[in-house]
Amino acid sequence: MLASVLHDFNDLVLEEVPMPEPDAGEVLVKIKACGFCATDWKAIRGKRTNVEFPLIPGHEPAGIVAGIGAGVRGFKEGDEVIIMPSGFCGICENCRVGNTHFCTNAFTTGGDGPPDVRPGSFAEYTKTAATSVFHKPRGISWEAAALTEPLSGAWKGIIHCSKLEVGEDIVIIGVGGIGLLCMMVAKAAGAGRVIVVDHSAHALANAKRLGATHCIDPAKGDVKEQIYGLIPNGPDIVLEAAGSIGAVRLMTDLRRRGTRWHLFGITTDEMFELNGGHTHFLEGRMDASFGTNPLAMSRAIRLMEKGLVDPAQIISHRFPLGKIHDAITVMDGKDRNKVMIAP
């Protein structure tokens, strides 16, 4: 099969590799669409260094079951499915108490996190554990289905971790692909004012189109003054989805007493400082969210199936697998949101 194989940083090669064969408990999926995540781009460009070569990146896929291993129940060839990149053992202590995303023996197909990284979905086929596969409802497009994992991450961060309540005001720093999904989940959950912050006019225009109530460009004045001019009592939640340490520092500066603040976008090892006494006085709560789990995936599928969120609305560019290098060039730039690969 054709696959994009990363042999070293900045050395992604389109080449023929052996077709994977599903082992017991596994499902083989013919990929119909796969989102291009910033973590994939960081691995390709060497901005994320916890990478072992060779690697087939791509961890936001959906496709059609092309084969099943021994003992697999609930799936058959021809089923339309969504792949959760995270895999779990089901028997460690974390799995036993429901925290499968903390699994001691976790693996990922093409993604980031655990040391066990298996071939991903910038390829014609992917195999994974049947426990990491979900049925795709017929009414969901392939492109929307491929964005289930990032949408599930947005749900997990905004709803499950930060407990957004109806009418609460939220500030989202950074509205690239994942920031837009967080914004759309917040809107669907009944947020009051949804204020977004970004340096990119392109990103802000998309945020406005998809439902942001206010858009703030840091180049046009002090961000905190602008936000507190809109909500004098300050935000209930501030979520960092930009992936930069500057955004994290801004997030901490925007807190008022009781603000919940959420580290979501930054995935690289960078440091920031906190005033301990001030943080203690504010009585806020800091959360962070990484990856996904079966609960979040199921909730994301429900959001799409009921028409509450259509993640395909954030797609700005589409490329066939054979044009993966053109997709990387687009990822290098700023005027894009979600890039989609279709083998």
Note the pLDDT tens digit of each residue in 58-81.
999 999 999 999 999 999 999 999
Mean pLDDT, the chain, whole residue set: 95
Give the model's pLDDT for residue 210. 95
By three-state DSSP, how is residue 13 classified? strand
Q: Is the preceding omega at residue 54 within 30 degrees of 0, hence cis? A: yes
Amino acid at 76: K
Binned at pLDDT 50, 70 and 90, residue 28 comes out as very high
pTM recorded for the entire structure: 0.94
Task: Give CA–CA dist 311/342, Å, rounded.
Answer: 16
Task: Give CA–CA dist 185/152, Å, rounded.
Answer: 10
Q: Is 181 left (phi over 0), alpha (psi -120 to 50) or beta?
A: alpha
In CATH terms, 2-136+310-342 corresponds, of 1.10.3720.10, 3.40.250.10, 3.90.180.10, 2.40.170.20, to 3.90.180.10
Taking 90 as the threshold, does the pLDDT of residue 30 lie above it? yes
For residue range 207-235, what is the model confidence (pLDDT) as tens digits?
999 999 999 999 999 999 999 999 999 99
Fold held by 151-288? Rossmann fold (3.40.50)
- For the chain, which residues make up each domain, given as ranges? 2-136+310-342, 151-288
H or E segment to which residue 104 belongs: none
